[in-house]
Chain A
Amino acid sequence: MFPEITEKHRESFKSLAAGWVRVGASCVQLLKGGQVLIGCPNSNTSSEPSLLVTSLGSGLSLQVFGVTDMRWVPTAESMLEVFSTLLSADADLDNLTAALVETQDRLVALYELTQATRRTLEMPKLLDLLIEQSRHLMDVDGGFVVLKEKGKQTIIHQVSESPMHPAHAEAAATLYLRDPSRHIFKDSETLPANLKNVMMVTLPVRDEISAAVGLFNKTGNFTTPDIKLAKAIAGHIGAQMENAMLHKEAVERARLETEMDIARQVQTAILPQHIPQVDGLDAFATSIPALEVGGDFFDVIDRSEEALVFALGDVTGKGMPAALLMSMTHTIIKSASRNMPFDHPHQVLDRLNHDMAADFANVGMFTTVMLGMVDCADCKLHFSNAGQSPIYHVPVNGEPMLLEAQDIPVGILDTVEYTTQSLNLSQGDLFIAASDGFPESRNPAGEMYGYERMKAILSTSRELSAKQIAEALLADVNAFCGTHPQDDDRTIVVLKFEKATEKRIMFNESITIYANYEEIRQPCERLRLNLRQAEISEEIAGLCELSLQELLTNLVDHAYEGSPNGQITVRMASNRGQIFIQTEDAGTPANIKMEDVHMPDPEDLAEGGYGMAIIRSLMDDIRYESAQGKNIWTLVKNL
């Protein structure tokens, strides 16, 4: 298509035509496809003979009327060529101008798109923008995006007043992705009835995602510039989607890091800041957490001047759930160990397991725990081990012995009954409880540190202090691992028994009786006698006896409701700091909240309700547990 003949061309034509007139021509015309573009003098439809030359390239012809001499053909040809060139240059210029204008439009649109996408990191909005802009720029009915990722559901996003069937969109994407060099599909092919034409381009996101953009029903047909434009838009949106995904991943990673931080804080908060020391024992404990918190915990609690409770455990799993369970576990251990009879550490694990089994089961986790009590007055170590390893006993004159865990971890079965083992301690004996972070540490070659290396270090460092022994072990593991990063927490408790202390446990005995008013006197009077022998004041002794009498009366009345076959075991113990009274029955569990118990108003002349109120006002700590058919009351009186 040639543009109009401009005035300037007209003048040139006229002067050339004048030359033809001088050699005898009556009229000269420039034609295209039989149409006269310009004639000089003014067009006439003369039937005179003429000379006609045609340029095949441009489709233009020059007709010179009144001249027939073939010698003028080359002249006519050169004139035609001049005009062909001129007009074609004009056409190019116009095309170029139009293209420039369009390109500018598109650049403006792309710029707007960039601005819009910069403000959004949400995937659906980005896909909307992609399709909307393509529709706007290419005049199509609608568009869709298909995102395929292995192992994930294919996403089909559409924007159109008359959307495509998702199956068609997916089929188009599949067809295209098989041969991405072919972009345009037309109605002549197997397109569904409502589709005239479809253009597909790749949406470059990331390697593991194959994605394609489809635009359909363009007025007219898709052209190569459309493909280029669509590719440019898709390229831009793809980059933005990549940003969005990176952003999302960064947010997720930040969330995980926050979780890990919280877990680390919880772990740090529950670990004791200093290790209490008791007479006759050198105790040290520490925990070196791995980068990703592993769930180790430990605690060392002084129960009296010569007895120390220690716990070391490892909650499975990582992150928040592990941190929460760790903190709950730690709290229960701490409170339950406060009142456990010296030689009953399994009671703490029973309680922990009973209270926490459901919580652990809910999240599919569990915890290993080693709970022990060193009694320097009795030269005994009582411990209960729920799956914790490694535990070493290093007798003063013997080789380190690995003590296998006798019970399963806490949180696996709520019906487990934990057991207590006891060791006699001699001066110089070592007891080490550690987490699996020691033996399972690896060196760069992938070898494990193992139990033997640990045993060897314990053997060679046995003369050192508890702290030095722990440090020697940590240093040896570090040296072994070299550049290999620490995968798991390393937690250790080292106890070195130095000497027997003066015996301060004044009594520790238990009595089992039938539940009736007559028999309950036995333990009451026994307690009174024990307290008297321990030179505890008559007043305190009397009040302790009264508390036990009230508790036992309550069990006769309520746990067994007068049934004569019920049995009650009463344990009583005292050291210089506290008096412990514990009852165990198999009757109906108590349904009483001590915090709701109050002394009746004397005005009311109540004929009952004094018993538990007396206990509440006399005892420093009252605890009740009911599990597996056993009800345990523990009363503590501080001296």
Chain B
Amino acid sequence: MELIKSSRNSIPVLQLKGRFDAHEVEPVNAWFVEQGQAGNTMIIVNLEGVNFIDSTALSTLVRGLKLCREKGGDLHVCSLQQPVRVIFELTRLDKAFDIFASEDAALKGF
């Protein structure tokens, strides 16, 4: 999986590409911790390039979400491919996250 780290309007954005599964969660987790330490409480994870996500990856996103919300911020996910959306719905985590159709919408959502 490829990780592309960027920033828009000083909001950190992590763009993922490929298979997001148990084998790939460590660097993503590390990025969340990094943002927390830098005092960034509002972040975006762009899943546009992700075609497969498993429950370990979802759990990692939940951890990132909690880190932000504990400090009054939020984690927005955006640009879900259909198979990934199905899994969010299956686990009902679509109810826990604010999910946006595009990175722009996610930015505006804060």
Contact = CB atoms under 8 A, between A and B. Distances in A.
Interface in B37-87: 52, 54-56, 58-59, 62-63, 65-66, 83, 86-87
Contacts of B66: 605, 607
A196 B40 CA distance: 116
Interface stretch (A154-162, A261-269, A545-553): A545-553
A546 B63 contact: no
Nearest to A554: B55
Given A553-B54, A610-B58, A602 B21 contact: no
A517 B55 contact: no
A186 B73 CA distance: 115
A223 B65 CA distance: 111
A386 to B, nearest CB: 41
B19 interface: yes
A517 B21 contact: yes
Contacts of A539: 83, 86
B22 interface: yes
A602 B93 contact: yes
A614 interface: yes
Contact of A550 (B19, B55, B65, B93): B55
A538 to B, nearest CB: 7
A618 B21 CA distance: 18
B108 interface: no
A599 B65 CA distance: 19
Interface in A528-550: 538-539, 542-543, 545-546, 549-550
B54 A602 contact: no
A294 interface: no
A546 B19 CA distance: 11
Contact of B23 (A518, A546, A550, A614): A518
Counting chain B CB atoms within 10 Å of each CB, the highest count among A553, A556, A603, A607 belongs to: A607
A540 to B, nearest CB: 11
Given A599-B92, A605-B62, A605-B96, A610 B55 contact: yes
Nearest to A615: B55
Contacts of A607: 59, 62-63, 66
B4 interface: no
Contacts of B54: 546, 549-550, 553, 611
A151 interface: no
Contact of A602 (B23, B83, B96): B96
Nearest to A541: B83
A586 interface: no
B69 to A, nearest CB: 8
Contact of A611 (B52, B55, B83, B86): B55
Contacts of A600: 91
Nearest to B82: A539
Contacts of A613: 91
A70 interface: no
B23 A517 contact: yes
Given A521-B19, A610-B91, A613-B91, A553 B56 contact: yes
A558 to B, nearest CB: 13
A225 interface: no
A347 B29 CA distance: 42
Interface in A492-550: 517-518, 520-521, 538-539, 542-543, 545-546, 549-550
A217 B64 CA distance: 104
Contacts of A520: 22-23
Contacts of A57: none
Interface string A595-613: 0000111110111101101
The 4 A-B residue pairs whose C-beta atoms are closest, nearest first, are A610-B55, A517-B23, A602-B95, A602-B96
15 contacts: A520-B23, A549-B54, A550-B54, A550-B55, A553-B21, A600-B91, A602-B91, A602-B95, A603-B95, A603-B96, A605-B66, A610-B55, A613-B91, A614-B90, A618-B90
Given A550-B55, A618-B90, 13 more contacts: A520-B23, A521-B21, A539-B83, A542-B52, A553-B21, A599-B92, A602-B91, A602-B95, A607-B66, A610-B91, A614-B55, A614-B91, A617-B90
